[in-house]
């Protein structure tokens, strides 16, 4: 699964943002940790566009091809596919 460019940009702009990508036999997982100062992110998916809000920042990105789920758990945004 391809990493959304908007999330890569967020990691490049904010030192506390960490992105981890994992590939398994039949599943790909992208985890984005916005760090302690980022607060708890909220996510909503509308017509294939994910909208993530963290404190005063908003990130929008098209769901990557093959993505099946976007969730937030423990302050970490997870994209699974």
- pLDDT > 90 fraction of the chain, expressed in percent and rounded: 51
Residue 32: its H or E element? strand 28-33
Task: Classify domain 5-80 by CATH architecture.
Answer: Sandwich (2.60)
Residue 38's pLDDT is what? Answer: 58
Average pLDDT, the chain: 88
Spatial CA neighbour of 7 closest among 33, 25, 27, 26 = 33
pLDDT digits (tens, 9 = 90+) for 7-37: 888 778 878 888 999 999 989 999 999 887 6
Instruction: Tell me what pLDDT residue 24 has.
Output: 93
The residue extents of the domains of the chain are 5-80
């Amino acid at each position: 699964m391809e990493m959304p460019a908007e999330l890569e940009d967020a990691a490049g702009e904010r030192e506390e943002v960490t992105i981890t990508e994992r590939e398994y036999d039949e599943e790909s997982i992208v985890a984005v940790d916005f760090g302690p100062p980022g607060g708890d992110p909220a996510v909503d998916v509308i017509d294939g566009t994910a909208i993530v809000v963290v404190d005063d920042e908003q990130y929008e990105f098209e769901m990557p091809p093959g993505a099946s789920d976007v969730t937030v758990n423990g302050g970490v945004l997870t994209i699974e596919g």
